[in-house]
């Protein structure tokens, strides 16, 4: 059948299973928006208030659903506004498709109105990108883009489509043939020799520990990781993005590792004789000083991306492959092991940790973030999808909201993008409409994308927004207190009245200043259909403990002084 390029874009999206996309119209993408009128009921478009919000919504949708998220924007500033979201998705291996309009092919390179070389701009922040100059190439390009986005190590792919290509017509017939790309053949399984080497190290180890990363979620290897841990009796620690990939209430769970990880997790890594790294990349926030990282440990690294193996940490057995498939190769060879002495040692470290006692401390008329997050976990029974911004509240969520299920803690890990929380939560709610979704944000990051309150209202998205307001850029202030002699330059913030701001949008809202109001605030949020906003006014000078200073040894943590709690 004869279709325009704009119609082909929408036909391809529908055939790829896309049900919703997030975007903002403009001149160069207008033919595609005009074609949307023919596809009502087949694909839903969400009008954002800023294109950055569209990329974060697509990201949140992808993380929560496991499907590819889609965002769409016009040329020039519309396309460049997607860049932060694309970089966020790339760093965290999230499958996103970005479709951008471009000036007509004859105008490319003339500095035409709203022209930007978006493929050039986005090369460093996408897994791959395309400039489509012929309508005859459009359908296969879109199909290829989805294949690249969702296979191997997932990531964002951008498709730039000039306006005249959107207007041109051609014969369209969907091709169901699987995509085959020369030079792009992700390795999925391990060799027999690699399996044998890994099994031998696991059976020889006296103090092993599993490092559970985001790759577990991306490959769907939840049961396989649990089987490995339970059969071999191996404790499990999670990266920030690995939270939920192994149930945090499980007896073998040691909690989060790294800069703001639990003390027992970091001590265990430093004392282990075997690290089993599953779908993680040894990020600097996880390792601390590489020269002193896990000095006694042999290392097994299973990772889909071959460039990550031996990149930061040299390993004894590096296996490039799909984690679920590789673990299924390993598991039949794993025998039960007795690691009770090792587990008891970790348990002693946990019992000696004073940081988390703060949730039981009577703070008088003060409200602190730890207690807000812990009570949110308590009254949601740990069942909500939480989506954070970046900062102190993010680390507090990671510490005080244990997750039992995968894909229920969404956050910007690698890029650390402030402003991620609210739009990503909107995307997550579209992905999981029956789930309870909370955006947990700071007063700083919230104001970067608070324009998306309008999107939430227009779409009547049932997402609850919890602002932890300390009147500061909290994590930067913490660093200034610890390492810059309390010179609080450019961190105190003037904030609007968040409750009145919400009321201006017609959003039910509430301000909380004491702990005994937290349960009421959660009931309040749950009682309303559509977006709600709760402002928690917390202490400005509280610190996230423990903390490994940048570049320090992983075990040399700054701990909460016992007299404080």
Catalytic residue among 38, 42, 106, 113: 113
Classified as helix, coil or strand, 5 is helix
In terms of DSSP H, where are the helices of 331-420? 340-351, 369-379, 392-400
In the beta sheet, which residues pair with residue 472? Answer: 492
Helix (H) or strand (E) holding 46: strand 44-47
Helical axes 392-400 vs 369-379, angle rounded to 10°: 40
Contact 335, 291 (CB under 8 A): no
Strand order of the sheet with strand 253-256?
253-256, 236-238, 208-212, 274-278, 298-303, 317-320
Q: 163 catalytic, yes or no?
A: yes
Q: Any idea what DSSP says for residue 235?
A: -
Q: 222 catalytic, yes or no?
A: no
Sign of CA dihedral 103, 109, 114, 116: positive
- As a whole number of Å, the end-to-end CA separation of the chain is 71
Classified as helix, coil or strand, 129 is strand
Contact 116, 88 (CB under 8 A): no
Catalytic residue among 7, 51, 436, 452: 51
Q: 113 catalytic, yes or no?
A: yes
Catalytic residue among 22, 57, 146, 163: 163
Catalytic residue among 114, 337, 404, 517: 114
Helices (H) and strands (E) in the chain, counts: 23, 20
C-alpha span between 265 and 282 (Å, rounded)? 15
Catalytic residue among 21, 395, 448, 475: 475
C-alpha span between 117 and 63 (Å, rounded)? 28
C-alpha span between 105 and 18 (Å, rounded)? 28
Active-site residues: which are they?
A: 51, 113-114, 163, 475
């Amino acid at each position: 059948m004869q279709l325009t390029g704009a119609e082909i874009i929408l036909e391809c999206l529908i055939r790829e299973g896309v049900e919703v996309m997030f975007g903002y119209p403009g001149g160069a993408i207008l033919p595609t928006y005009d074609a949307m009128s023919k596809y009502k009921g087949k694909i839903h478009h969400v009008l954002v208030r800023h294109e950055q919000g569209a990329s974060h919504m697509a990201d949140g949708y992808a993380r929560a659903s496991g499907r590819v998220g889609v965002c769409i924007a016009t040329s020039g500033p519309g396309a460049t506004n997607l860049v932060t979201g694309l970089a966020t998705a790339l760093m965290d291996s999230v499958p996103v498709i970005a479709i951008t309009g471009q000036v007509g092919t004859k105008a490319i390179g003339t500095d035409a109105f709203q022209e930007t070389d978006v493929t050039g701009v986005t090369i460093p922040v996408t897994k791959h990108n395309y400039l489509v100059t012929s309508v005859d190439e459009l359908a296969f390009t879109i199909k290829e883009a989805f294949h690249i986005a969702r296979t191997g190590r997932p990531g964002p792919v951008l498709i730039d489509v000039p306006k005249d290509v959107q207007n041109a017509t051609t014969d369209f017939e969907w091709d169901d043939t699987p995509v085959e790309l020369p030079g792009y053949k992700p390795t999925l399984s391990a060799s027999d020799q690699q399996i044998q080497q890994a099994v031998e190290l696991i059976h020889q180890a006296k103090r092993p520990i599993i490092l559970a990363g985001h790759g577990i979620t991306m490959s769907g290897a939840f049961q396989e990781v649990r089987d490995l841990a339970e059969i071999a009796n191996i404790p499990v620690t999670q990266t920030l993005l690995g939270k939920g990939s192994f149930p945090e209430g499980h007896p073998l769970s040691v909690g989060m590792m790294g800069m703001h990880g639990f003390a027992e997790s970091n001590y265990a890594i430093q004392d282990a004789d075997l690290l089993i790294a599953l779908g993680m990349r040894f990020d600097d926030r996880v390792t601390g000083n590489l020269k002193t990282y896990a000095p006694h440990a042999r290392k097994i690294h299973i990772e889909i991306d071959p460039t990550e193996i031996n990149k930061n940490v040299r390993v004894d057995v590096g296996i490039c492959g799909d984690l679920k498939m590789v673990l299924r190769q390993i598991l039949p060879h794993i025998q039960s092991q007795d690691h009770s002495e090792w587990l008891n040692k970790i348990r002693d470290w946990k019992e000696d940790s004073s940081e988390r006692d703060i949730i039981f401390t009577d703070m008088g008329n003060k409200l602190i973030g730890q207690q807000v997050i812990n009570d949110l976990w308590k009254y949601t029974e740990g069942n909500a999808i939480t989506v954070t911004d970046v900062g102190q509240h993010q680390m507090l969520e990671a510490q005080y909201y244990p997750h039992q299920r995968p894909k229920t803690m969404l956050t910007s890990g690698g890029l650390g993008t402030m402003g991620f929380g609210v739009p990503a939560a909107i995307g997550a709610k579209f992905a999981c409409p029956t789930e309870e979704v909370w955006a947990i944000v700071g007063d700083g990051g919230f104001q970067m994308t608070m324009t998306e309150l309008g999107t939430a209202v227009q779409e009547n998205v049932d997402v609850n927004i919890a602002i932890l307001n300390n009147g500061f850029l909290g994590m930067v202030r913490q660093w200034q207190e610890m390492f810059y002699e309390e010179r609080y330059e450019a961190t105190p913030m003037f904030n609007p009245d968040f409750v009145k701001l919400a009321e201006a949008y017609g959003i039910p809202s509430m301000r909380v200043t004491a702990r005994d109001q937290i349960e009421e605030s959660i009931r309040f949020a749950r009682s309303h259909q559509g977006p709600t906003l709760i402002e928690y006014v917390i202490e400005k000078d509280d610190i996230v403990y423990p903390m490994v200073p940048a570049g320090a040894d992983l075990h040399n943590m700054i701990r909460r002084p016992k007299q404080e709690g």
